[in-house]
Amino acid sequence: MRAPSTDREAVLAEVPGGGAGRPTVATIDLDALAHNYAEVCARIRGRKVLAMVKAQAYGHGAVAVSRRLADLGVAMFGVALVEEGIELRRAGISQPILVMSPVFPGQAEAVIEAGLTPVVFNAPLARALSEAAVKAGVSQPVHVKVDTGMGRLGMSPEDAADLVPVIAGLPGIVVEGVMTHFADADLRDKQFAAAQMDRFEKFLRAIEERGVSVPLRHAANSAAVLEYDRALFTMVRPGIMLYGCNPLESGVDAGLRPVLSLRTRIAFLKKLPAGTPVSYGRTFVTKRESLIATVPLGYADGYRRGLSNRGEMLVRGQRAAVAGRVCMDMTMLDVTDVPGVAEGDDVVAIGSQEKERITADEIASRTGTISYEVLCGISSRVPRSYV
């Protein structure tokens, strides 16, 4: 394993097997991240890239990921919260940062002080930003959010077409971008996505007729980057594909590489006779003499409790089933059929070992969720190691 790429990316605990650090570690492969970014660029033919790094870069660590992507030429970063944007600024990220979740009027001064770009979705926020910008003596860029079918943030295309010229006329405000958000671009059937594009394109024509020229127009998430060229416009917003997961229902190979792996070690081995219960609720009972391994990884670390009696981890290149309920801090594995297993052995919860692999998508499928939630759910108490 290579050393962290910079001192600032060093983790608080050492990687598994080294020194006194906790052996449960999420390893982030920054070369895989760079590969996935190259896959984005290959598909968008010169458009700008806004890289989504909200929610700690989907659990990968926003600062380290943003630094690497900044070196690769990303034009802009996307966060959810003002606080996330401030964290990146304090870490030295100088690229524009778009705050995509609700910004409230009372946060206008903080937005301007940190040099962030908010998404605007109503007149009160626009006016508050205008007043704060005038007070600070700056020109404040904003992106206007248009709701074309997501039913979340944003004005209707008709209302937005009327309001954009008003916002553009406010002192201190520059309408730098307009955007919309897909509801289901990951599906094979793009009929609803096409209807959203019809509404967004109609909105774009309407503001042009009103004399408003907006340089940045964006709608494409990872799914649209991969499978819907109509939505590329002048900038794209890849998220999950940067981290190596393919969101497409079609399952078309996207040439992506997983960025995160989650590893730990066997802390304890115990031989149990047939008929012995394991873990809370006695939901697992040995049917034969069994060898049970305990690993220091539980649901407080983000290893989902829904994997109780249905998940697997990799031990010596083999799949070992989760035995009983996942605990807060520990999980038990049935390693009876793993030859040579020993205390201290490497265990992979997400990632590859020899010829086997367990992906975030596989865990999501077993627990009825999506890879986004699996990755975002890996808690902050799990150290991140950057290689």
- 271 part of the active site: no
Active-site annotation holds for 280:
yes
What pLDDT does residue 251 have? 81
164 and 203 together in one domain: yes
In a domain, 191, yes or no: yes
Clarify whether residues 234 and 273 are in a common domain: no
* Residue ending a domain, choose from 182, 214, 243: 243
Among residues 37, 48, 54, 271, the one annotated as catalytic is 54
19 inside domain: no
pTM of the model: 0.92
Tell me which of 228, 271, 280, 386 is the catalytic residue.
280
Does residue 272 form part of some domain? yes
Same domain, 89 and 212: yes
- Max distance between CA atoms of the chain, in angstroms, equals 79
What is the DSSP secondary structure assignment for residue 288, as one 8-state letter?
S
**pLDDT the model gives residue 15:** 42
Same domain as 176, residue 63: yes
Tell me whether residue 106 is exposed, middle or buried, using C-beta atoms within 10 angstroms of its C-beta: 0 to 12, 13 to 18, 19 or more: exposed
The per-residue pLDDT for 20 is 63
295 and 356, same structural domain?
yes
Residues 313 and 347 in one domain: yes
Quick one: 209 and 358 in the same domain? no
Among 199, 218, 243, the domain boundary falls at 243
Residue 120 in domain: yes
The answer to whether residue 23 sits within a structural domain is: no
Q: What distance in Å separates the CA atoms of residue 326 and residue 296, rounded to the nearest whole number?
A: 11
Does residue 275 fall inside a structural domain? yes
Same domain membership, residue 197 and residue 269:
no
Please give the structure tokens belonging to residue 153: 């943030």
**How many whole angstroms from its chain centre is CA 2?**
24
Q: What is the pLDDT of residue 376?
A: 97
pLDDT given at position 18: 45
Domain that holds residue 267: 260-386
Question: Does 342 map to a domain?
Answer: yes
The dihedral sign for the CA sequence 191, 252, 350, 314:
positive
Q: Domain total for the chain?
A: 2
Flag whether 16 is in a domain: no
Query: Using CA atoms, how far apart are residues 172 and 33, in angstroms rounded to an integer?
Result: 37
Question: What does each C-alpha distance from 213 to 74, 87, 164 come to in angstroms?
Answer: 23, 32, 10
Choose one of 213, 243, 273: the last residue of a domain: 243
Query: CATH number, domain at 278?
Result: 2.40.37.10
Mean pLDDT for each 10-residue chunk of the chain (387 residues)? 39 44 95 98 97 98 98 98 98 98 97 98 96 98 98 96 96 98 96 98 97 96 97 98 95 92 98 98 98 98 98 98 98 98 98 97 96 97 96
